[in-house]
Amino acid sequence: MIFPQPQLLLVDDSPLNLRILQEFLPAIQYHCTTAQGGLQAWEMLEAEPDRFHAVLLDRVMPGMDGMEVLHKMKHHDVLKQIPVILQTAASTHQQTLEGLQAGAYYYLAKPFDQATLQAIVDAAARDHFSYLDIRQDLRRTTTMRLLESGIFHFRTPDEARNLAMLLAHAYPNADRVVTGILELTLNAIEHGNLSIGYKEKSRLIEEDTLEEEIAHRLSSPPYSSRVAMAHFARQPHGLSLHITDQGKGFDWKKYMEFDPERAFDTHGRGIAMANKVSFDSIEYRGNGNQVMTLLRLDQAAAMAG
């Protein structure tokens, strides 16, 4: 998938560090704007909340530090959706966990090399462009609020995406659930039916061959005959979605929360984001090839109000 040039905001109190970031992020690939300190960064973000696709944020700065900027962004209706890459030398397990819990789902430990920086920036920008694309498509999708129940079969990433946008409109807040549905349906295709493991996906992303490998497996036995299923149901207590794939399952427990050990990886946040943001509960069953989600209608109505 081809994305536009990412608009990045680089935030650091050190002019030298900002120059290094700009040298590592060539203008032909990235459009970089710098802010020397948290206060200047917040003023720029608040003035133009739709401008940037990702923020590289230094954690330790005098005055308004990175964690305070992050906190303000996550309490802003627009800025909360922009991915924040927290760059810091403070990368103990507890400090990384604090950043993840605050909403910095991408991490960059100092010192870093150019390849690592670009990989993390590309991952954050890619995820945000996908989110913006989905948001735009949501506006063109017919409402599904009258749907009481339905069973849907899908086998490709495109079908997973179309299904996510369709089902999102059955919920009170489509924007809240659409990325969660998409992450879980894509997981059913990629990790479930196509048996692309975590380390293998990391390698394919690094080599920029993930889409090619997915297309190859979709047309090759035994993967070509596998189909995933989604069962939506409107119940008295809430809206449930049951997704099943035909894979061998996986160890899902470590992916339910944001793990500091994977904070520096280019992927692996989808299930945790679905669990934290999109639904009130997620439960994997069996060997991990079945997942049940629930959105309680009382809480959804309170959030919408």
pLDDT digits (tens, 9 = 90+) for 241-291: 999 999 999 989 989 988 877 877 888 888 988 888 899 999 999 899 999
Residue 3's pLDDT is what? Answer: 67
Counting Cα atoms < 13 Å in the Cβ hemisphere of 222 gives: 6
Residue 104: per-residue pLDDT: 83
- Bridge partners (DSSP) of residue 106 are 85
**CA–CA dist 133, 179 (Å, integer):** 11
Which amino acid, one-letter code, is at 288?
G
Closest CA to 121 of 86, 77, 70, 92: 86
Domain 144-304 has what CATH class?
alpha beta
CA 109 to chain centre: 20
Reported as a pLDDT band with limits 50, 70 and 90, residue 216 is very high
| Whether pLDDT at 1 is above 50 | no
Is residue 227 pLDDT above 90, yes or no? yes
Parts of the chain belonging to CATH 3.30.565.10: 144-304
Euclidean distance between CA atoms 160 and 148, whole angstroms: 20
Name which residue leads in pLDDT, 234 or 264.
234
CATH 3.40.50.2300 in the chain, residue ranges: 7-135
pLDDT at 209: 95
pLDDT band of 100, cuts 50, 70, 90: confident
Give the mean model confidence (pLDDT) for residues 222-247: 96
Q: What is the mean pLDDT of residues 211-225?
A: 96
**Architecture of the domain whose range is 7-135:** 3-Layer(aba) Sandwich (3.40)
